[in-house]
Structures are given as structure tokens and as C-alpha cells.
Amino acid sequence: MKKLTMGVDMHGKTMCLTAGTAILVVTEAAFASGYRIPEQSINATALGSAYVANANYADAAYYNPANMSWLSPGVKMEGGVSYINLPSITYEDFRSPAFSGTSEKENFLLPNLHMVSPDYNNFRFGLAFVIPAGLTKRWEDPFPSTFANKFTMTVVEANPTVSYKVNDMFSLAFGARAVYSDATVRSAGNIVAVPAGGLGGGLPATPEYTYISRDMDGDTTEYGYNLALSVKPNDKLALAATYRSEIDLDMDGSGVLYSSSSYFNGLFPSGFYQGPGSVSIPLPAVLALAASYSIDKSTFEFVYERTFWSANESQDFSYPASLGHPVLSAAFDNPVVKDWDDVDAFRLGYTYLWDDRLTLMGGFGFDGNPIPDETLSFDLPDSDAWFASFGVRYNWRQQWSVGAAYLHAWKEDRTVLNSTLNGEFSGAASHCLSLSASYQF
């Protein structure tokens, strides 16, 4: 059998989907950074991540370690937490309401920690602990849940950095990225193993169905690097560039795969696999170019960001031996073409120093999505996004400061037609509320 098809029989009409693109596509959000989470401090949240050239607090250790050279003397520390809410996404299928569905709401709490050392002969050292990527998505309706019933992925990064102040105008930095990721995927549903006449000679006379399920867990620890450069031609203008390397998440884990005996003709016996499995997914490289300009109490910053999602060309699960069953092999052991695209983000940030204690911030921007129509599915129904943000930071006493920020992203509705979908996703959005406290001595 060279081709396994998936479908649902609606009033005698069978709608078939290729398993290689429909079933395994769920692994994108389960095993990879389905989308990045740029907001890792209150400054970044308040400014819509237009926070590179003007990164002047402890979180410069993550956003632009070259700027550690420009910080005031002493030790800088900042810790915070971000609450992220993802509202439900609605899928309206143009073929039949039975294929429509609504995803579950999702809520996350993401901590972060940033530290910068004193100056040592023009060297400063930084350390950041962040959660730069992750996703949970659940669909309970019958058609969507066949592809993406439930899956979670978490990426935790420790990022030690060092900066060197070449002179009063020029600073550079280097960092190491240690990334730990774990993931879980659950999927289950009825599929059409062979459509009517799929074996030739008019056989089978009616579609042959089977039930398949997957329960897999995996994790990995991988390493990369980041680079940063800052130039200050004068007191008003700052220019910066940062680069984070691609990291291949080589997930190793175990799982249970199951296929029931087929019906109604009993052409296939049941199948079962329990054992190890692996897959490699790229955490993409990111390049940011930024410029900030200060006038009196105001600072404006523009950031151009390029995320190299084209590294996600395909996904291929590996097992130590053949799954030994035609349905399991077709559903879970064939490479999946992704063909994601590199994407651009444009960010504008504004900072206003109200007085010595109070700082006001705001941001606005656009972020593209990497997924072409051909490979879009329920695991990550992404679309282009517009976002706006605001926040405040208050200096409490001489050594302490506290802050709060909020960001809202609007996802554009997206109509898609491919081998899985013929409909429209709407209602996608995100809310991010960040709180932090900083201390210096």
C-alpha cells in the first residue's frame, strides 16, 4: 500500500486527506518552536520588543549584551513573570459544518531572570534565564482533534554572555545558548485506510476505516551562540545588531502508536508499537538590526527582525526498527514537507522619562508568519499579526524599581485551501501581561 488516506464520511460522501501531510503535521507544535515568544521582560513587552539599541537595564544581558558596557556601575538584577493568554480560535469549514471547530483557550505563566556583573577592565558578564518559545494547543471537535487533539512544548534557555567595551563608542559581545526542550503529543482519530476502489479492480467496494492513536514524549538539551554589536556615535544616536544562532532540537523520547483492525472489510489487522523514537526540529536563527534616537526626555527605537524559519524544510521521525505495520508506517513514519518561509518583523518603540522615578513606554509593530497555505493545519493555524503595547517602570528608592507592561496582538483571519483544509481561521490573538522587579548594588 503506497498511500494511506484520511477522511470522514458525511452523508455518504468521503473526504480524503493524505496522511503524510495531515497526521504528522501535528508534530510541528509538539516538537518545535511553533512560534517564538519575544517578550522576556517588562521592557520588551512594553516596547513590543523594539528593545535592542536602547536596552539599558539588566535585561540587556538577553536582548543586547553589547549594551552591558554602557550600564551604570555595579551589579544589576531583574526578575519577572509574564502571563500569556491565547483566546479560542474558530475554524469554519466551507465544505460542511461538521468539519468546523473551536480550539480551547490557553494560559501560561513564564518566569524570567536577568543579571549583569560590575565592570572588570572593560569586560562585563551577564546571565539570562528565559522561555523563548513554546506552545500548547487543544482541539476537542471531531475533525480538528484528529490532527491536533492536544500537544505541548516548552523551551527553556540559559544564556551566559560577556561584553567588551572597545572604546566609548563601540562595544561587542558574545554569548552561549544552552537550551532544554521537552514535548508531549497526543492524537487520535478515525481514518480511511483505503478508499473505495483503492486496491484496484473495484476493491474494496466501500471505504475501509481504522482508528489510530499516538502518545509520545521527548526531550533534549542543545547548544548554540549569540552575537551582539553596539555603536554610539554620539549621546543621542545608538545603533545595534544582534544574532542568535539556529539550534537543532534533536528530540529523543518514547511513545505508543496504535492502529485498530480495519473495518468493515477487515483488510488490515491491528498494529501496535511501543518504544523509542526521535525527530530533529530547528529552533531558527534570528537577526535584529536596530537604531534608537533620543530627544530630551524621549527615545524612539526602530527594530527590523529576520527569523530564518526556512530551516524548517521537513520533519522525519526515526525509530530503531520498522514499525512493521502498513497503517502505522504510512501515518507515523513518512517525512513531512514543511517548506516554511523566512519572515520579517518591524517594531517601533517609544520611551519617555517622565521624571527621575517614572518611565513610560509604548510600542507598535507587525510580525509575519512563516507557514505557507500548503502546510497549514490545526496544530499551528498562524497568520500575520499586528500588535500594540504599553508599560511603566517606577524607581522605588535608590536601588529598587518595579514595572508592569501589557501587549496585545491581533492575528489576521486566514482562508486556506490545501489537502487538509478548506475554510477560514478567525479569532486568533494573544494577550501578554508582564510584571518585574529590579535591584542594583
Residue-wise pLDDT for 362-388, tens only, equals 999 999 999 999 999 887 888 999 999
Q: How far apart are CA 350 and CA 389, in angstroms?
A: 10
Confidence bin at 322 (pLDDT 50/70/90): confident
Residue-wise pLDDT for 125-175, tens only, equals 999 999 998 777 788 888 887 777 777 788 999 999 999 999 999 999 999
Confidence bin at 404 (pLDDT 50/70/90): very high
Q: How far apart are CA 101 and CA 312, in angstroms?
A: 27
Cis peptide before 264 (omega within 30 of 0): yes
Closest-CA residue to 374 (of 419, 336, 312, 335): 419
The proportion of the chain whose per-residue pLDDT surpasses 70, expressed as a percent, equals: 92
Average pLDDT on 256-273 reads 91
Q: Which fold has domain 5-440?
A: Porin (2.40.160)
Closest-CA residue to 305 (of 373, 361, 244): 244
Residue-wise pLDDT for 100-114, tens only, equals 999 989 898 999 999
Q: Which of 8-17, 158-167, 279-288 has the lowest mean pLDDT?
A: 8-17
Residue-wise pLDDT for 93-102, tens only, equals 999 999 999 9
CB atoms within 10 A of CB 51: 33
Q: State the pTM of this model.
A: 0.87
pLDDT of residue 9: 37
Closest-CA residue to 110 (of 91, 133, 90): 133
Q: How far apart are the first and last CA of the chain?
A: 69
Q: How far apart are CA 290 and CA 304, in angstroms?
A: 6
**Residue 28 pLDDT exceeds 70:** no
Mean pLDDT of all residues belonging to the chain: 88
**Between 239 and 195, residue with greater pLDDT:** 239
Q: How far apart are CA 186 and CA 139, in angstroms?
A: 11
Task: Please report where in the chains the cell 498562524 appears, as a residue.
Answer: 382
DSSP string of 392-411, one letter each residue: EEEEETTTEEEEEEEEEEEE
Confidence bin at 35 (pLDDT 50/70/90): low
For 38, residues 6+ apart whose C-beta sits below 8 A from its C-beta are: 44, 49, 132
Residues in the chain: 441
**Residue 56 pLDDT exceeds 90:** yes
Q: How far apart are CA 185 and CA 200, in angstroms?
A: 35
